[in-house]
Amino acid sequence: MQAHVGDSIRMTVLSDPPLVGEIVEVLGPDGAPPYRVKFPNGHELVMNPSPDTIIEHKRPR
């Protein structure tokens, strides 16, 4: 799994809508996890995504 700052991360949670956050820091080498993720409610966490997590890459402007 590879990501860049600004990409979105989508996690499926049982019985709830998916959690979506923005990757604000990539802590692993060459885009690899762990990632610091900020959620719309302002909370941030450092995470290693599970295999069912989806990275949505930011489109270049």
The sheet carrying 19-26 orders its strands as: 44-47, 35-38, 19-26, 8-11, 54-56
pLDDT tens per residue across span 1-51: 899 999 999 988 776 888 899 999 999 999 999 999 999 999 999 999 988
- End-to-end Cα spacing for the chain: 23
pLDDT score of 57 = 92
Q: Which one has a higher pLDDT value, 59 or 21?
A: 21
